[in-house]
Amino acid sequence: MSEILFWGVLKNVDESILGLKLDKGFVIKSCGYEEFLEIISRSQTSLGYYAHPYPDALFSQDDKIIYIENKFKSVNQYQLAPFQKEYIGNYLKPTLALLRLFKEGNIQSPLSYYFSIGKEQKTIKPFGSEKSNLYYSTGGCYKLKKEEINELEKFLNETKFPFLDHLQLAFENLDMSYTTQSNALAYLSIMTGVEAIFNDGQGEIGYKISRNMAMLLGNNKEDAQNIFKQMKRLYNLRCKLVHQGHYKNVDIKDVIMLREYLRSAIKKLVILNKPKDALLEDLTFSGFEYLDVNK
C-alpha cells in the first residue's frame, strides 16, 4: 500500500480560514509561496506548469498559499478514483459550496496535487495534479471573523444536500453566479434563483418576489419596507437587462446585494424546510405588522 498526500490549493481566501475544522481528515494549512514552489518543482514531470499559471489566482491576500491537506492509503499512486469520488466529489466540493452559501466570498480550489510519501515520512514527491476554475469572477476574498468560526462549523454539520427542489435550484443558481466574470450574467443567475423560490407564475412577478422577500427577511416593518423597495429596484434592473440589453447598468454592488438577499433566504428556508406552495401561502397572508411566517 502506498501513502498519498493530497493538497488542494485555495484561492480568494486569507489565513482567517485556518481555524476552521473540517471532517474526513482534511486540514487547512498555509505556507510561503517559495516553499510551495520548491516542493512542486521536485517533480520531473510537467507539474511545474501548474504551480503558478496565474500567480494571483494562488496568493492569499497575505502572500501565502492556503491549501487543504489530507492523507490516504492506496494500492498504488495511480489508484486515486476512490479518494476523488468519496472525499473530493462527495465532501470537499460540497463543503466549499456551503462556505460560499454561509457568507459572501468566492472561495475556490482551482489546483490540486498528489504526492507519494516516502517510507520514512521524510520525503514527498509530486506525481499528479488537477486544475479547474482558474478564473476571475464577481466574488471577492473570503474572510472569517473569529466569532464566525464556530457558527460556520455548526452550519456545515447541520446543512445537508440535497435541499427541497426549489431551494436546490435557487442554491445552484447562487453558486453559479461565482463562475463568470460578467456582472450581468451573475446577476441574471442570482435573480433566477430568487424567482425559483418566490415566483408563483401568476403575474405581477416583480411585486410578488419583492414582497415575499421582504416578508421573509424583514425583522420589523421598517426593515421589511426597505427590502421591498430594494427588491423592486433590483427586479426592474433585471427587466431592463433582459428586455433592453442594458448590461452595462449592472453594478457589482447590485450583484452582491441581490446575492446576499438570496443567500439569506436560502439559509432561512433550509431550516424551515417548507414546500414552495406552503411557503408562498404563508407569505401571502403575512403583513408588515406581522412578520412571523416561520410557524
Domain layout of the chain by residue ranges:
2-131, 162-284
pLDDT in tens, the chain (295 residues): 788 999 999 988 999 999 999 999 999 999 988 888 777 776 544 444 444 444 444 555 557 889 999 999 887 666 788 899 999 999 999 999 999 999 999 999 988 888 888 765 556 666 667 777 555 566 678 999 999 999 999 999 999 999 999 999 999 999 999 988 899 999 999 999 999 999 998 888 999 999 999 999 999 889 999 999 999 999 999 999 999 887 788 999 999 999 999 999 999 999 999 999 999 999 988 765 544 444 3
Q: pTM for the whole thing?
A: 0.89
Which of 195, 2, 178, 162 is closest to 90 using CA atoms?
A: 162
- Separation CA 228–CA 118 (nearest Å): 61
Q: How many CA atoms does the CB half-sphere of 179 hold within 13 Å?
A: 11
Q: How many CA atoms does the CB half-sphere of 39 hold within 13 Å?
A: 19
- Separation CA 88–CA 150 (nearest Å): 23
**Residue 60 in 3-state DSSP?**
coil
